[in-house]
Amino acid sequence: MRLGVLFSGGKDSTLALHLAAEKESVVCLITLVSKNPESYMFHTPNIDVTALQAEALGLPLVSVVTEGQKEEELADLEKAIAQAKSKYQIEGVVTGAVESVYQASRVQRICNRLDVWCFNPLWKHDQKALLETLVEKNFRVIISGIFAYPLDEKWLGKQIDPAVIARLVGLQSQYGISPSGEGGEIETTVLDAPMFKQKIEILTSSMESKGNCGVFQIKQARLVSK
Amino acid sequence: MILVVDMNWKRDSLALNEFVSPIVSVVQSLEECEVKHFLDIETMELEGYNKIILSGTMLKDHATLKQVDKFNWISTFDKPIMGICAGMQTIALVFGVTLTNCLQIGITEISTLKQNPIFQSDFRAYTLHNYSVAPSQTFETLAESTKCIQAIKHKQKNIYGVLFHPEVRNQEILKRFILLKQ
């Protein structure tokens, strides 16, 4: 089955892509570039890096800009999936949804209208186990956004490794934070993964934070051999 | 030992993680279980299981509805069975009950019509279906949404069907079925 992956460049959509590619044929990535940093649906930090990630993966990218307003961004997502269907003949869409019924049901409705299958290979999976899978499979993932107490700027740019996972799981029991950021507590950017033919090297970056909110912005990056 | 039947359109599909693994995770918190694809079930093998759960499938996956002959064992298995979504639709077809068009996606209000051992009162559930089942002489209706029948039980047998997905929300319903005395 020809599939397009809804791709934010973060850990969940990249892991979903890998799982999908093990079973079916992934033919394109679909990205919504939201102008709204508080988008209800779409991961925002470093969304521009998706072009470089697509190049590293050797997959075409269908990219649609959205203002990021609550219902308009869903119409823009529908446009993007419709474009992918017409340009790359996708028969199904893959998402990185884990827990959010809000996100999953909206994408399901769009797929139903467009008559394409909708796969959620990470659905309801244990969040700690998902993080551990990333480490086991040699994904290089950095924390590119923090949006909840008690996270602070010291977390920005950190690579997800066993020590970081242990600290996130500790925060779950203490503060109720979802360790994989399902409640939007953290956002991530993938710099390398098994399917990447090249990896991403960050040349320049900046950090902006205020209290428990902050982003690690990749300013310049390039692909280098693995 | 509980058998979880993978109702997806093919063996080891990309939908296994989404529709079967969450059920397995709930079952394993209470009891041992095994997973078999619906195409791999032999009637003779079912004696060792004390309950069977049929998974749901993707919205576009109607494979089991077109191969009802693969489920003749449902009418002869004498222990509790629960069908979720496509599982419930398939159970209905096995007993000659027709399906009705009913598209629902997302959180849906469920009204309980008849008290039963696995859920009570009204609740909100996650739904993802194109079809429901018609009222029949074979099944009593346990619950409904504003659009269609959401849960049924066979009038003589311990066979339940829920159209909503208790493995996503309302896991306690699945747990009550798992703990149901035979």
- Domains of chain A: residue spans and CATH: 2-119 (3.40.50.620), 127-225 (3.90.1490.10)
Catalytic, out of B85, B129, B148, B154? B85
How far is A41 from A61, CA to CA, in rounded Å?
19
Task: Give the pLDDT score at A150.
Answer: 85
Among A112, A116, A121, beta carbon nearest to B17: A121
Q: Which two tokens stand for residue A89?
A: 């003949």
How far is B56 from B89, CA to CA, in rounded Å?
9
**Contacting residues of B for A101, CB less than 8 Å apart:** 106-107, 126, 168-169
Residue B76 contacts by C-beta under 8 Å, 6 or more apart in sequence?
Answer: B43
How far is A103 from A81, CA to CA, in rounded Å?
15
User: Strand pairing partners for B109?
Assistant: B124
Among B14, B103, B168, beta carbon nearest to A121: B14
Distance between start and end Cα atoms, chain B: 13
- Whether residue A121 and residue B169 make contact (CB cut-off 8 A), yes or no, is no
Question: Does the annotation mark B148 as catalytic?
Answer: no
DSSP state of A212: T
Q: Which two tokens stand for residue A129?
A: 């186990």
* Percent of chain B surpassing pLDDT 90: 96
* Of B21 and A43, the one with more pLDDT: B21
* pLDDT band per the 50, 70, 90 thresholds, residue B94: very high
Which of the residues A124, A127, A128, A130 would you substitute to probe the B interface, choosing the one with the greatest number of B C-beta atoms within 10 Å?
A124
- Widest distance between CA atoms in chain B: 41
Most confident of A168-172, B41-45, B155-159: B155-159
* Residues in chain A where the model's pLDDT stays below 50: none
Distances (CA, A) of A169 to A130, A161, A166, A182: 12, 12, 5, 13
| Segments forming the whole domain that contains residue B24 | 2-179
- Whether residue B168 and residue A120 make contact (CB cut-off 8 A), yes or no, is no
How far is B83 from A142, CA to CA, in rounded Å?
42
Question: Does the annotation mark B85 as catalytic?
Answer: yes
- Whether residue B22 and residue A119 make contact (CB cut-off 8 A), yes or no, is no
- Whether residue A101 and residue B106 make contact (CB cut-off 8 A), yes or no, is yes
* Percent of chain B surpassing pLDDT 70: 99
Contact A174, A224 (CB under 8 A): no
Closest by CA to A185, choosing from A125, A109, A131, A107, is: A131
What 3-state DSSP class applies to A200?
A: strand
User: Strand pairing partners for B83?
Assistant: B54, B161
Task: Give me the CATH number covering residue B124.
Answer: 3.40.50.880
Task: Give the pLDDT score at B44.
Answer: 77
CA distance A172 to chain B (A): 20
How far is A7 from A14, CA to CA, in rounded Å?
7
Backbone angles phi, psi at A127, to 5 degrees: -70, -40
- Whether residue B17 and residue A122 make contact (CB cut-off 8 A), yes or no, is yes
Which of the residues A17, A26, A105, A126 would you substitute to probe the B interface, choosing the one with the greatest number of B C-beta atoms within 10 Å?
A105
SS (H, E, C) chain B: CEEEEECCCCCCCCCHHHHCHHHHHHHHCCCCEEEEEHHHCCHHHHHHCCEEEECCCCCCCCCHHHCHHHHHHHHCCCCCEEEECHHHHHHHHHCCCCEEEEEEEEEEEEEECCCCCCCCCCEEEEEEEEEEECCCCCEEEEEECCCCEEEEEECCCCEEEECCCCCCCCHHHHHHHHHCCC
Contact B107, A108 (CB under 8 A): no
Residue B146 contacts by C-beta under 8 Å, 6 or more apart in sequence?
Answer: B109
**Contacting residues of B for A94, CB less than 8 Å apart:** 14
Question: How many domains does chain B contain in total?
Answer: 1
Which of the residues B27, B55, B105, B126 would you substitute to probe the A interface, choosing the one with the greatest number of A C-beta atoms within 10 Å?
B105
